Amino acid sequence: MTKSRFVALLVSALLTVVALGCNPRRAQRSAHSSTRSWPSAARAKSADKAAHPFVPPSSVVIQERMMAASQAITELDVAKARELLDSIPETGRFAQLLRARLALTVGDCDAAVGLLGALGNVGSSAAELGRIAEGCSRAMAGAEVVTDESHGLWVRLQNSRDRVLVPLIAEVVDKVTFQLSLHLRTTLPRPIRVEVVSDLMTLSLLTGLPLEAAETTGTIAIARFGRVTMLSPRSTREGFPWQDTLAHELTHLVVSRKSGDEAPLWLQEGIAKREETRWRKPLPLDDPSAPRRLARRALIEGRSIGIEKLGASIALQPNPESAATAYAEVEDFLDYWLKHCGTLGLDLLLRDLRQVRHDNTDTALRSVSGYNLSQWIARWQADLRENTSGVASDDQPSPPGRTSLAGDSDASPDGMHADDLPALARSLRMSVLLARRRHWASSVSVLDRMASRRMKLSEVSLQLALAHSHLGHLQAARDAIGTATDQTQLDGAWLAQFGRIARLSGRSDVAEEAFERSLAFAPTAERVACRGEARIDYPDAASVALVPQIEPWRALCLDALGTERP
């Protein structure tokens, strides 16, 4: 370094010290700014060495690096957080808590248990982390970890059979994150971490959500500690829309990263609900107006949850109806806000929240839009009462989901009374037994009697279509299965049977679309995995004869049949 260059650096450093000393707020901002763009280890060492005469006391440097590490963990920048923590010799409480948080973020629950156990009784936050780390360590002991470097994906499976889901998860993650990068202008660092668990107890242990709350509201996935933890589709008989669920939780990670985890719950959930279906093509029963109908009905009837009264999590609502209302309200509120402020306004709001911090949402909202949260809520509620565009004239909410044989209400959408359900269950059971013995004509006779009584449940249409198809009555099978718009809710079994009948009818393009859509609900169910076929329909046939020869269907079908893959 030349002498003139050294003198210039010396003068610049002296001026900086004087300026910061005269303006504490500027000093605070400067320190905050430095933590947001901390250099790599090599550059940091070089910078420290070049400015050695003017380096602040070591305790200040350590504190700055710990704050920078905390922010890096929040933003899922694992490499940066690890680099910063490795450069800190500090073994105090805060540093160890940060190391434990980082360990949980990368899924190393055993390391987190060790770090937190050494701290002893050090407060509620550390105690909660300790409980979650301990629960994770126990529940995921022996779990299989699949690393897909080509897709930047890390998947931990409580049940190793769910390994067949990894290619499907990778495909969804790629599509969702690409769309989120366009919509929210933020990318997620790789690898993206997803955990697939077998039951709600494990979901509770890994995330800290109370088990009772998960059971009450039907929570099936949570994004926390930089990971998405989700129930396996095989955990329920009919599966669930796991792809949209995964998209919802990935959105939470992106919003937390972009806002520095400062977005209030209504904004987090509103964006996640908005994005959970925007990554894919619309499905026949997608209903964009449903949130407005539900929110308006709740407001009129005095059942509104309240945008500002959601609590710590929608998963903690007292019942599924309250949770559904809360989701409808945040989604419609955000839609209303976006109509006035646009996606650019949303981008600015998330950036401002990152700066103002300390739950000062009103400051960010006023900065972007000129109104605070209470004013926006009042405007939205007035619009809900007055603007009925897109709302059904009878003001009814969306049709309920698929009616089960247990009956969740006194009457189904088609007017069938709960008293009919026992007879329906017996008749349906009889038709299934007849089908197992390949008495297809007798099965059709039983099912036709149910259909004549307006018992148009999807189980009936499925069995009737199956029987007609085996009898070679393809037109009758098509009439029985109907179309997607005839259903109250799509599910994997219906889609798979619809695809099978379309294939038998020579409509291969329609069949392929139905098979692909069925994977979004129940990819591990036999009839879905085997593209509409099942062993029960062919009692004399070898199971291997049902296996498709194309992926991912081959692996999924072999798994569903319990057959080892050759």
Q: What are the pLDDT digits (tens) for 277-307?
A: 999 999 988 999 999 999 999 999 999 999 9
Query: Average of pLDDT values for 52-58?
Result: 48
Range name among 49-58, 284-293, 524-533 with the lowest pLDDT average: 49-58
Angle at 439 between CA 438 and CA 441, to 5 degrees: 130
Angle at 193 between CA 133 and CA 138, to 5 degrees: 25
Q: What is the dihedral of CA 511, 517, 521, 526, to 10 degrees?
A: 30
Query: Is the pTM value of this prediction over 0.85?
Result: no
- pLDDT tens track for 297-339: 999 999 999 999 998 999 999 999 999 999 999 999 999 999 9
In order of 166, 225, 481, the CA distances from 240 in angstroms are 17, 24, 20
Range name among 39-43, 286-290, 482-486 with the lowest pLDDT average: 39-43
**Residue 163 CB-half CA count within 13 A:** 12
- pLDDT tens track for 376-394: 999 999 999 997 655 554 4
Query: Average of pLDDT values for 207-220?
Result: 93
CA atoms of 173 and 152, how far apart (whole Å): 10
User: Does residue 564 carry a pLDDT above 70?
Assistant: no
Per DSSP (E only), the strands in 98-143 are none
- pLDDT tens track for 400-413: 333 333 233 334 44
Per DSSP (E only), the strands in 387-437 are none
CA atoms of 439 and 431, how far apart (whole Å): 9
CA atoms of 487 and 494, how far apart (whole Å): 9
Q: In sequence order, what DSSP letters do the residues of 219-281 get, joined into one string?
A: --EEEETTEEEEE-GGGSTT---HHHHHHHHHHHHHHHHHHTT---HHHHHHHHHHHTTTTSP
Distance, first Cα to last Cα, the chain = 66
Contact 66, 81 (CB under 8 A): no
Tell me the percentage of the chain whose pLDDT exceeds 70: 80
- pLDDT tens track for 238-264: 889 999 999 999 999 999 999 999 999
**SS3 assignment, position 230:** strand
Range name among 272-276, 352-356, 556-560 with the lowest pLDDT average: 352-356
User: Does residue 54 carry a pLDDT above 50?
Assistant: no
Helix axes 242-259, 320-356, angle to 10 degrees: 30
Q: What is the mean pLDDT of the chain?
A: 83
Write down the pLDDT at residue 220: 95
Write down the pLDDT at residue 14: 39
**SS3 assignment, position 180:** helix
Contact 554, 525 (CB under 8 A): no
Which DSSP helix (H) or strand (E) runs through 545?
A: none
β-pair partners for 411: 417
Query: Average of pLDDT values for 446-453?
Result: 71
User: Does residue 31 carry a pLDDT above 60?
Assistant: no
Tokens of 454: 């307006």
User: Does residue 519 carry a pLDDT above 80?
Assistant: yes
Pairwise pLDDT comparison (123 vs 417), residue with the higher score: 123
CA atoms of 136 and 104, how far apart (whole Å): 9
Non-local (6+) Cβ contacts of 134 within 8 A are: 109, 113
Query: Average of pLDDT values for 196-222?
Result: 95
Contact 450, 427 (CB under 8 A): yes
Write down the pLDDT at residue 51: 45
Write down the pLDDT at residue 199: 96
Tokens of 90: 């500090």
Helices (H), 140-241: 166-183, 200-207, 211-217
Write down the pLDDT at residue 359: 65
Whether CATH 3.30.465.10 fits 419-561: no
Peptide bond into 191 cis (omega under 30): yes
Contact 172, 243 (CB under 8 A): yes
Domain ranges of the chain: 3-90, 140-246, 260-392, 419-561
Pairwise pLDDT comparison (165 vs 398), residue with the higher score: 165
